[in-house]
A and B are shown apart, each in its own frame.
Chain A
Amino acid sequence: MSAGFTAPSATSGYDDAQPRMGFFTDTSVCIGCKACEVACKEWNDIPATLFEFSGKSYDNTVGLGADVWRHVAFIEQRVPRIQEAALSGVFTEERPGEGGEGGLADFRWLMSSDVCKHCTTASCLDVCPTGALFKTEFATVVVQEDICNGCGYCIPACPYGVIDQRKDDGRAWKCTLCYDRLKGDLEPACAKACPTDSINFGPLEAMERMAAERLDTVMAAHVPGAQLYGDGPSGGMDGVGSLFLLLDQPEVYGLPPDPVAVTKHVGQLWRAAAVAGAALVGAAVASFAGVRR
């Protein structure tokens, strides 16, 4: 890790910066209605995705991508797995089923609406060679569709698998955290449409407080596997704008357990390239040793 390095995404430099806005998605009250997916598509005029049967529970959307900016995951869990999930949650000392009222159910649904994390140090933005990706005054990360030339660098850079290329269009697309709605003092379409307040939106500080309070509540209710997900300021992404309350480990929901922004290693990378480049010059010079005539 290169000390003192500041990624361009971490310093957005607005004079009239707004408070940082973000999501708190409380998956413990998600009912899997997919209203968020529909509202997002409607508001943002996202092309329809193929109507296919995936065979993955009720999830036929499968994952985030160019045309999916909110994705509801469905996980069906039975008992041994629920016990394992419980071990990863906030009750690590208490064996599941011993302390809770009535013990563990033998089956449960996990449903979770995934979205762009709007990272503090956003890898997509930091590798973008055109400046198409930028930080808004709300500290969210947005692609400018009139700038993006479809180089595709942001796609494998994102550690969450959020951004992708729209095939017939060539450009990269992802959640804008409804930048247009935010500018008009409206909450994002997904949060507006959510009927159970699983998707909460507001200043990130308020979201953090809400997440901590919710964790206390579900802990008191002995919900197995409850844990907060969302990189903190000292984490690999230097913090994110989308927080989650999950009921199992992140990877069960298709989320990376401990992502690190790619550009955290960029100094190390350029140094390795400098050494290799110097070796290349050295090899060329050495090849001519003794042949001068």
Chain B
Amino acid sequence: MSGAPVSGVSPALAGDGRVQTSDSYYGLPIINEPVWTWEIPVYFFTGGLAAGSALLAPLADRSGLGELAQAARRVGAAAALASPPLLIADLGRPERFHHMLRIVRPTSPMSVGSWVLAVFVPAQLGGALLAELDILPGLRRLAESVAAALAPVMGTYTAVLFANTSVPIWHEARTELPLIFAGGSAASAGAAALLVAPVDQTEPARRFALLGGLAELVGTQLMQRRLDELAEPYQEGEASTWSHRATGLTVAGSVLLGLGRGGRGSRRGLALAGAASMLAGAMCERWAVYRAGFASARDPKYTVKPQRERIERMNGSDSG
């Protein structure tokens, strides 16, 4: 028994290939839209910021840039501290947050993420605290190594979380979303460290932010190209506004950071403005992806179109 008629014309894609409204149930959505509120995209930003900072701190330390390391530790600790409350506040039953740790489930990025977060946050906070108190350097380094080892997961699993849903604009962008989120992680962590650290130590942070911004911009282009018609919410409507803001802020931030090399005098001003722009761009990018998911879930044509195309392909390969 098949989920679809095995042969016959598909009225859904007849004519110009656009999905018609008559092929839906009163235009109502097929899938239910997410119930996640603002805390989730904000956490995606803080989690990414914490992940990037967890990589910057030990690398700066090893390169003899003590003050850059300190800046990254403080930024990372603040971002790590903010993350669990955001996630818990979003739950329908916040008092049951610890139920996340009943099971381990690789098919659930939220399960993987909860476990990673449960180790990452104490490691990040512990390392920063030991550094501030300037005690137990061995333990501090261990804590920082644990946080740094988990950082690549922290910076990307949130993209897997969104992509592992039936929301077409997320699911069909599954190869590009992790790159965009990793880019945002690097862009925000580099930019934040640049804002906080003394000017003569910020060069690696500047580079990290630039590389991150580049990954965000390239990833976004690749994603929209792959999504093709499904990318519509990024081109019109509320999510498109945020997407355009994200691109504009990241481009502007990259230009300013590029000009602000060396960072003395007026150049320092350019670099700081660039860093602020990068941070805002990374946040807007998460927000754009988040909002686009709602638009994509709401219109049944986005759900039907890739499925009808799959049926057509299968029928095509059956007869040919």
Contact = CB atoms under 8 A, between A and B. Distances in A.
- Give the interface size class of chain A: 35 or more
Contacts of A284: 52, 55-56, 59, 186, 208
Contact of A88 (B8, B151, B166): B8
Contacts, number: 307
A255 B303 CA distance: 10
Contact of A288 (B11, B182, B204): B204
Interface string A233-270: 00111000001000001111111111110110110111
B311 to A, nearest CB: 5
Contacts of B29: 63, 161
A142 B1 CA distance: 24
Interface string B96-129: 1101101101111111001000000000000000
A262 B186 contact: no
B34 A155 contact: yes
- Give the interface size class of chain B: 35 or more
A256 B108 contact: no
Contact of A258 (B62, B114, B166, B308): B308
B120 to A, nearest CB: 13
Nearest to B51: A280
A105 to B, nearest CB: 19
B55 A280 contact: yes
A266 B100 contact: no
Interface string A13-43: 0000000000000000000000000000000
A149 B151 contact: no
A278 B152 contact: yes
Interface string B275-301: 000000000000000000100010010
A39 to B, nearest CB: 23
A282 to B, nearest CB: 9
Interface in A270-286: 270, 272-281, 283-286
Given A152-B34, A165-B92, A171-B93, A272 B108 contact: no
A258 B32 contact: no
A148 interface: yes
Interface stretch (B156-164, B231-239, B252-260, B261-269): B156-164
Interface stretch (A120-128, A178-186, A189-197, A216-224): A120-128
B110 A129 contact: yes
Contacts of B211: 283, 286-287
A251 B8 contact: no
Nearest to B23: A251
A13 to B, nearest CB: 14
B83 to A, nearest CB: 15
Interface stretch (B136-144, B170-178, B243-251): B170-178
Given A165-B92, A266-B106, A132 B99 contact: yes
Given A149-B91, A257-B3, A284-B52, 16 more contacts: A88-B5, A129-B100, A131-B102, A149-B96, A156-B297, A161-B29, A171-B92, A172-B92, A231-B3, A236-B3, A252-B23, A255-B30, A256-B31, A266-B164, A274-B156, A292-B63
Going nearest first, the 9 A-B pairs with the smallest beta carbon separation are A150-B92, A170-B92, A277-B152, A254-B25, A149-B96, A276-B178, A129-B111, A287-B207, A284-B55
15 contacts: A88-B5, A148-B96, A149-B94, A151-B92, A151-B110, A160-B31, A230-B1, A254-B25, A256-B31, A257-B12, A258-B3, A270-B106, A272-B159, A285-B59, A292-B63
